[in-house]
Amino acid sequence: MNGQEKAAKVIAALKKEYPHTKYYLDFSNPLELMVAAILSAQVRDEVVNATTPRLFRKYRTANDYAKASLHDLEKEISSITFYKNKAKHIKEACKMLVEKHGGKVPRTIEELTELPGVGRKTANAILQNAFDKVDGIIIDTHCIRLSYRLGWTESRNPDKIERDLMNLIQKNEWKKIPHLLKDHGRAICKAPAPYCSKCVLNKLCPKQGVTKRL
């Protein structure tokens, strides 16, 4: 069984284990997703989802954010880690949307990653979940940890890991695999010590039983 076949078996097992897996941030349009994704860096999803309803009611367009007082915006998201930097990024990103994109969130990874606070991970999340455009794989901390443990990569660099996974995994699974890995990372394959005895992948994982800090 080659690497692609093994990866397919892992994905099938995770789909069975987590049949209701989904994207974790709440939003109703691309702008809301962009803002929520910027806020989500190094923050639990639950905290972001508790913060955004009030924010989204107050600021409905890119122009609303662009014209907002930075102090007021900071106040709205003060429960979020690094809220001052994130408020600045959101305001500046929305100013760029107004000036360069007619107030709309762009649909290419190149244009998205030009926006303050938007890296490749965030751009992939926006493209996939707002526009159903899958050009890559979202690489978060769970994806990094589990990809290494599963032997899918030897790298710790997110861009290299993304390339490794894109070469290994069928494109029709690119959108779902990060969510499956996140669910499994939270439930079983935790850092620093995974619960290998409870893992549905213990016969497929080359690092089964390894508790190395990652």
Domain range list for the chain: 3-21+138-198, 30-131
pLDDT at 206: 87
pLDDT at 214: 41
Would 3-21+138-198 and 30-131 be classified into the same CATH topology? no
Mean pLDDT by 10 residues, the chain (214 residues): 92 97 96 97 94 98 98 97 97 98 98 97 96 96 95 95 97 97 96 92 78 43
pLDDT at 209: 52
Whole-prediction pTM:
0.90
CATH topology of domain 30-131: Endonuclease III; domain 1 (1.10.340)
Q: CA-CA distance, 139 to 144, in Å (whole number)?
A: 7
Query: What's the CATH number for 3-21+138-198?
Result: 1.10.1670.10
pLDDT at 150: 95
pLDDT at 147: 96
